[in-house]
């Protein structure tokens, strides 16, 4: 018997009617002859409401108690899903993260999974039950405190369970039909990808594609889990995320380009007038690392020979921006630079595709498309299968549409399969 792990997010569980619809879908999967283990998020706005309550009683709630509070959300949704399944003539049992064997470290609010011991889930499945598991939560190995996994937590729970249970597929249900070549709100002609490699999906997620959190894709790749991203509001197939390394070199029919991702969540810091002598850049990055910020792109401009000074630009999440700027300001004299410029009106555009490796014309097409659209490029960063640029924030949408179109990703039907074309 095949084993399917399914994950339903909060938007698929907004109210009683949504829960009943999800229950019907779960039962269909069971009746098709599969064992089914389901991971659920909290219903709709539950988590926000709980956070609001916490802020009413405490300006800075202790993280241990915040985790205790928030985990009530999945407890409610999982019990309701289990009940709803029972009315359809199947039996279901719900399990907390702790009961499901999600063992984590002690980092409340952003715990990492250390191991998964799903003995109770295995037993429930073997007894013929559908198992419902609370996403986003676990129990710490040493102190046995309740923890939450932080962003992307429920997806990560599903993938971790799929791995531990050796499931055949992990279906991530969401409110869109799958992974698209670009955000359909910006590019209406964007089309759904039938499949994408975990490697490409990693780059897409890292570059702002919201559909799956980077962390889940990393987890899936590490353990070789096939993810099927699909909509809980339709029966259409979604996007398969497959572990197929170097696919671009083995399959000449595969698309060169997977898609265009964009991201408005970053800010740019420019450290102006750094002494162009050994160790100065290292000082700057040491200070930033000590303040705990996550850097993304880093660019050092060519040194102005006459002054012996240079500028270093970097991007980072806007949420880390103030911390980073303050940390740098404190060491201005010590490190020896002139000033700091902070800019949060930027956008980041990334073109992702495993086929780039063997198609040298990609970057030429990319930069010509941006140039033709009068987009000014402020920073550039590349990997083997990705090109990213920083633009003005208000030019980002135009840039996405220009690049999407230049690589022949536009589809008049909106559902065509993408074969990227001619290696321009």
Question: Which H or E element spans position 263?
Answer: strand 259-263
Shortest separation between residue 95's beta carbon and its own copies, angstroms = 9
x-or-dash string of contact with its own copies, 18-47, rule CB under 8 A: -xx--x------------------------
Beta strand residue intervals within 56-168, DSSP E: 92-95, 102-104, 113-116, 130-134, 137-140, 146-148
Q: From the annotation, which residues make up the binding site for substrate?
A: 47, 74
Helices 214-223 and 153-164: crossing angle in degrees, nearest 10, is 10
- Residue 15 vs 394, nearer CB to its own copies: 15
Q: Closest approach of Cβ 132 to its own copies, in Å?
A: 9
* Stretch of 17-25, 28-36, 224-232, 369-377 lying at the interface with its own copies (CB under 8 A): 17-25
Residue closer to its own copies by CB (options 64, 151) is 64
CA triplet 372, 373, 374: central angle to 5 degrees?
A: 90
Q: In the complex with its own copies, which residue's Cβ is closer, 139 or 390?
A: 139
Which residues make beta-bridge pairs with 313? 270, 299
Judged by CB, which is closer to its own copies: 145, or 313? 145
At its nearest, how many Å lie between its own copies and the CB of residue 294? 28
Considering the complex, what minimum distance in angstroms separates the CB of residue 158 from its own copies? 19
Which listed residue (14, 51, 54, 298) binds its own copies by CB under 8 A?
A: 54
Helix (H, G, I), strand (E, B) or coil at 262: strand
Q: Tell me the three state secondary structure of residue 20.
A: helix
Of residues 417, 406, 382, the one with CA closest to residue 196: 417
Shorter beta-carbon distance to its own copies: residue 82 or 297 = 82
User: Residue 359, SS3?
Assistant: coil
Which residues sit opposite 230 in a β-bridge? 173
Which parts of 217-256 interact with its own copies (CB under 8 A)?
A: none
The distance of closest approach from Cβ of residue 88 to its own copies in the complex, given in angstroms and rounded to an integer, is 10
Q: For residues 56 and 235, which CB has a smaller minimum distance to its own copies in the complex?
A: 56
Interface pattern 57-96 for its own copies (x via CB under 8 A): xxxxxx-xxx-xx-xxx-xx-xxx-xxx-xx---xxxx-x
In the chain the first and final C-alpha atoms are separated, in Å, by 46
**Binding positions:** 7-10, 47, 74, 174-175, 185
What is the spatial distance between Cα 217 and Cα 204, in angstroms, rounded to a whole number?
Answer: 10
Q: Whole-number minimum distance, CB 89 to its own copies, in Å? A: 12
Tell me the site size for its own copies, rule CB under 8 A: 41
Residue 287 interacting with its own copies (CB under 8 A): no
124 membership: H or E segment, kind and range: helix 119-126
DSSP for residue 192: B
Complex with its own copies: residue 144 or 185, whichever CB lies closer: 144
Among 33, 89, 144, 412, binds its own copies (CB under 8 A): 144
Residue 294: burial class (beta carbons within 10 Å; 0-12, 13-18, 19+)? exposed
What residue numbers does the annotated binding site for ATP cover?
Answer: 7-10, 174-175, 185
The residue (of 22 and 170) whose beta carbon lies closer to its own copies is: 22
Number of residues that make up the chain:
424
**Residues of 331-363 as b/e, b for ≥16 C-beta within 10 angstroms?**
eeeebebeeeeebeebbbbbbbbbbbeebeebe
Who's near 13: CB < 8 A, 6+ residues apart? 19, 22, 40, 41, 42, 43, 44, 77, 81
Site for its own copies in 97-126 (CB under 8 A): 99, 120
Cβ at position 177, least distance to its own copies in Å: 26
Distance of closest approach, residue 56 Cβ to its own copies, in angstroms: 4
Residues that bind its own copies (CB under 8 A): 16, 19-20, 23, 50, 53-54, 56-62, 64-66, 68-69, 71-73, 75-76, 78-80, 82-84, 86-87, 91-94, 96, 99, 120, 144, 146
């Amino acid at each position: 018997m095949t084993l399917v792990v399914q994950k339903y997010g909060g938007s698929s569980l907004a109210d009683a009617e949504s829960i009943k619809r999800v229950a019907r879908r779960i039962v269909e999967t069971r009746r098709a002859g599969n064992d089914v283990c389901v991971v659920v998020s909290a219903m709709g706005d539950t988590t926000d409401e709980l956070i609001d309550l916490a802020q009413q009683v405490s300006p800075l709630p202790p993280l241990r108690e915040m985790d205790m509070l928030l985990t009530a959300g999945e407890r409610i949704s999982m019990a309701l899903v289990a009940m709803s399944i029972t009315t359809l003539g199947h039996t279901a049992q719900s399990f907390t993260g702790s009961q499901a064997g999600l063992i984590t470290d002690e980092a409340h609010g952003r715990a990492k999974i250390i191991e998964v011991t799903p003995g109770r889930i295995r037993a429930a499945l073997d007894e013929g039950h559908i198992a419902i598991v609370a996403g986003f939560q676990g129990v710490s190995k040493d102190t046995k405190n309740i923890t939450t996994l932080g962003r992307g937590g429920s997806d990560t729970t599903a993938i971790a369970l799929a791995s531990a249970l050796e499931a055949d597929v992990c279906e991530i249900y969401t409110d869109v039909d799958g992974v698209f070549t670009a955000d359909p709100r910006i590019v209406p002609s964007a089309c759904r990808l039938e499949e994408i490699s975990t490697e490409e999906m990693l780059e897409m997620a890292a570059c702002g594609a919201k559909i799956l959190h980077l962390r889940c894709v990393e987890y899936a790749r590490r353990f070789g889990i096939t993810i099927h991203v699909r909509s809980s509001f339709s029966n259409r197939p979604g996007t398969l995320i497959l572990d197929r390394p170097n696919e671009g070199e083995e399959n000449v029919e595969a698309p060169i380009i997977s898609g265009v991702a964009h991201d408005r969540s970053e800010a740019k810091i420019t450290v102006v007038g750094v002494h162009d002598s050994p160790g100065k850049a290292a000082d700057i990055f040491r200070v930033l690392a000590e303040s705990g910020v996550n850097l993304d792109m880093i660019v050092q401009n060519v040194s102005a020979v006459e002054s012996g000074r240079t500028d270093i630009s970097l991007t980072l999440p806007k949420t880390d921006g103030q911390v980073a700027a303050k940390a740098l300001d404190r060491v201005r004299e010590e490190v020896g630079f002139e000033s700091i410029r902070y800019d949060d009106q930027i956008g980041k555009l990334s073109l992702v595709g495993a086929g780039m490796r063997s198609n040298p014309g990609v970057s030429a097409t990319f930069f010509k498309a941006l140039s033709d659209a009068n987009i000014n490029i402020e920073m550039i960063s590349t990997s083997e299968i990705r090109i990213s640029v920083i633009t003005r924030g208000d030019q980002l949408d135009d840039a996405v549409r220009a690049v999407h179109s230049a690589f022949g990703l536009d589809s008049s039907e909106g559902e065509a399969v993408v074969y990227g074309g001619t290696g321009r």
